[in-house]
Amino acid sequence: MKVVVFGASGRTGRLVVEQALEKKHAVTAFVRDGASLGLEHPKLRVEVGDALDPAAVVRAIAGQEAVVSAIGPRSGQNQNVCSESIQLIIAEMKRQGAARLLCITVPEDSGTGFLFEQIVRPLFLKDVYADKERQEAAIHKSGLDWTIVRPPILKDGPQTGGYRLALGSTPTGGW
What would the pLDDT profile of 93-111 be if each residue is shown by its tens digit?
A: 999 999 899 999 886 665 5
Separation of alpha carbons 13 and 10, rounded Å = 5
The answer for 107, left when phi > 0, alpha when psi is -120 to 50, beta otherwise, is beta
**Residues 79, 10: Cα–Cα separation, whole Å:** 16
Mean pLDDT in residue range 65-79: 84
Q: How confident is the model at residue 47 (pLDDT cuts 50, 70, 90)?
A: very high
Range with the poorest average pLDDT among 89-103, 130-144, 152-166: 152-166
